[in-house]
Structure 1
Amino acid sequence: MPLPELTLSVFFSAILLMAAAVFATVAVQRPHAQGIWIWCAACLCLGIGIAIRSFDYALGGGRWFWYCGLFMSTAHILFWFGMRRFVGVAAGLNQLLGAFTVLTLVWGIAYRLDYVWQLFLMLGLATTFDLLALAPLISLRRLHYRPATRFALAIFVLAALSMAVRACLVILQERGLFLSMPDANSISLYTSAAALLLGKCFVFLMLLHERQSAELEKLAVTDSLTGLLNRKGFVDYSQRLLQRLHQEQRGYAVLMMDMDHFKSINDRHGHAAGDAALRAFAEVLREQLRPNDCYGRIGGEEFCALLPGLNPADAFQVAERVRRRFSEQAFSTPKGLLYGSVSIGVHGQFGIAASIEAMMQSADSALYEAKSLGRNRTQLAMA
């Protein structure tokens, strides 16, 4: 075989083995990253498989291909399984054992076949598992449509197409058809396929970086105690939501909520009791408010919610449900069960593109009135 093909095989093998070392280093540093050790094993299998292929080239081709195909088919199974683990799709040992059972049966048959049919079966297995890997990637896309996810989808689609084209060329050219087309092992097809394999290896690092960036963004706008939006996250999201509601000419309302006698809970029962009260109220909000409502803890014992599509009367009823539910629900503290209460101010608006800060101020005035009238009540802001 000409030197360029052999040189490329050695080059790609070295790159893949180095990629496996990189994944092992990242896995040690980030032990909680799902699927990274599986991806490391996939890169290692690819590197070993292409190294055997290089040795096979040097000896004239064909005699060692069965071992090369075994490692490379294993790598494609691991890519698929690692993607499922990373995305969080159910991927237990049963699925992995099933995939390796298929590989054992197919490759056991391939042992007695000629080199051409071994190559065809290896390409067929690679195509199948590349296509199967698209399913968890598509579910990841539903969560967030970021550049790394789009790139991963493109890489796996192109890799599957590349393997399928090569598989078809192997059979057609074996039967004497399409001899004018590039050979299935030509330098152009081989280089493109190997480049796509490298792309699949580094896709995982991109996805991992993308996920960690998203988690950091979420942490920046999330209250660590309750898991709700913090003040910054609530104001930013609410302002965008208000602009959309104004364009759609829909009504909306703001609830300002403040837990009653919160300082005395901390003083008498300890800060752990205060934290339990805040978490309990956050659960009431999750239970009573709708998925499209925006709500968060904006400081101390204060919470705020933006309710799209509601007039003041409807918003008042929602606030009353929240208030009653919290007053009826005991929350656990180190010193036993406690009950709390909350005061709520309601501001409703329609047709005016007000800022969220102005609406919060109006609802806060109603909240102050509710406090002055005895607490544990809901007060509607004056129009």
Structure 2
Amino acid sequence: MESFYHRLGKVETSGQALLVSGLIATTCSLASSAGAFWAYRTVDTPFLSLAILMITLVPFFFILASSFLLLRGFQILERNNKKLSEEVERDNLTRLANRYGFVRHGRNMLVQAGLQKAPLSLILLDADHFKNINDSHGHLAGDLALQHLAKILRQACRESDLVARWGGEEFAILLRAADLSGAHGFAERLRERIAESPFSWNGKQVELTMSAGVTEWQHNDDDLHNMIIRADEALYVAKSKGRNQVQVSHQQIDQVEGFELDVEFCDAAA
């Protein structure tokens, strides 16, 4: 019997198979009841008890097999749905979380930080003069540069942190249990590491730098949308002051001259 169950567990099922197995189980159940009632009313033999037992057991085994098919099918569907959900939330080029995944998991991180009364900080990063790489070396080199940056970010962050490609050459990092000072120091070390790690293209070393804006979650009446606005503001200041530097958000948006809110950037987190 164990080998029978093992073979059933290896059966690949589809939606049609699930429907058929369900119909078989229902039919067998009805047939078992009808057969037992018919035998009891019409069969006059000393083997009546055996006949009723057989009529009951045969459909039971069909129902058992159908149940295993159903369970196997649900397991496969659950696994496929999980894979699909992961792909929807992942950037194809860098394999980091994409904007959708960042917002969904980021909101959960805010909830957890609130329950734990723990600090949480956001870093927005933008590759400096990235258009020059595409123009000078081609878009394949640009893709390689993004993958190179993503690898550095992934290696520098902890498993509990959330790293995402927000779009284009922009990246976002949510740091668990990190206050503003800690996040600022981490962003500075990350900036230095990127500046010291050129990537190779056609036998040449291509240098990269990044600008970053940092902000901390304020807990009361603060959310991911507002954090992104503040970090985006700080990032603007970093780029306007010469790039390849980290700035911390201390001001409101309208106090930074020349700053224009990236509406699409922030709407995703609203």
**TM-score of the two chains, using structure 2 as the length reference:** 0.70
CA contact (8 A) 1:288 1:321 kept: no
Residue 202 (structure 2) pairs with residue 342 (structure 1)? no
For residue 166 of structure 2, the aligned residue among 298, 301, 304 is 298
How many angstroms does 1:360 deviate by? Answer: 0.9
CA contact (8 A) 1:273 1:334 kept: no
In 1, the alpha carbon distance for the partners of 2:236 and 2:165 equals 18
Secondary structure at the aligned position of 2:171 is classed as strand
Corresponding letter in the other structure for 2:248: L
Residue 233 (structure 2) pairs with residue 365 (structure 1)? yes
In 1, the alpha carbon distance for the partners of 2:56 and 2:195 equals 72
CA contact (8 A) 2:217 2:223 kept: no
In 2, the alpha carbon distance for the partners of 1:327 and 1:75 equals 61
Residue 198 (structure 2) pairs with residue 330 (structure 1)? yes
Secondary structure at the aligned position of 1:257 is classed as strand
Secondary structure at the aligned position of 1:212 is classed as helix
For residue 108 of structure 2, the aligned residue among 240, 248, 251 is 240
CA contact (8 A) 2:213 2:246 kept: yes
Secondary structure at the aligned position of 1:310 is classed as coil
Q: How many pairs were matched up?
A: 216
Decide which structure has greater helix share.
Answer: 1
In 1, the alpha carbon distance for the partners of 2:164 and 2:150 equals 8
Equivalence for 2:248: 380
CA contact (8 A) 1:250 1:351 kept: no
> What is the RMSD computed on CA atoms of the aligned residues?
2.9
Q: 1:67-86 maps to which residues of 2 (within 5 A)? A: 75-79=4-8, 82=10
Q: Which has the higher contact order (CA 8 A, sep 6+)?
A: 2
For residue 96 of structure 2, the aligned residue among 228, 252, 261 is 228
CA contact (8 A) 1:243 1:353 kept: no
Residue 126 (structure 2) pairs with residue 252 (structure 1)? no
Equivalence for 1:58: none
CA contact (8 A) 2:8 2:65 kept: no
Q: 1:1-383 maps to which residues of 2 (within 5 A)? A: 75-79=4-8, 82=10, 187-334=55-202, 336-382=204-250
CA contact (8 A) 1:294 1:306 kept: yes
CA contact (8 A) 1:228 1:296 kept: yes
Equivalence for 2:18: none
Secondary structure at the aligned position of 2:83 is classed as helix
CA contact (8 A) 1:330 1:337 kept: yes
Secondary structure at the aligned position of 1:375 is classed as coil
How many angstroms does 1:242 deviate by? Answer: 1.2
In 1, the alpha carbon distance for the partners of 2:221 and 2:81 equals 32
| Identity in percent | 33
- Return closer, same or farther for 1:74/1:239 CA change in 2, 3 Å cut-off: closer
Secondary structure at the aligned position of 1:280 is classed as helix
**TM-score of the two chains, using structure 1 as the length reference:** 0.51
How many angstroms does 1:302 deviate by? Answer: 0.6
How many angstroms does 1:224 deviate by? Answer: 1.0
Corresponding letter in the other structure for 2:122: V
Corresponding letter in the other structure for 1:379: Q
In 2, the alpha carbon distance for the partners of 1:358 and 1:320 equals 23
Secondary structure at the aligned position of 1:332 is classed as strand
How many angstroms does 1:268 deviate by? Answer: 0.3
1:157-189 Cα shifts (integer Å, max 9, x gaps) = xxxxxxxxxxxxxxxxxxxxxxxxx9xx75545
How many angstroms does 1:257 deviate by? Answer: 0.3
- Return closer, same or farther for 1:74/1:270 CA change in 2, 3 Å cut-off: same
Secondary structure at the aligned position of 1:239 is classed as helix
How many angstroms does 1:370 deviate by? Answer: 1.3
CA contact (8 A) 1:242 1:353 kept: no
- Return closer, same or farther for 1:79/1:373 CA change in 2, 3 Å cut-off: same
Structure 2 stretches lacking a partner, 5+ long: 13-49, 252-270
How many angstroms does 1:75 deviate by? Answer: 4.2
In 1, the alpha carbon distance for the partners of 2:121 and 2:134 equals 31
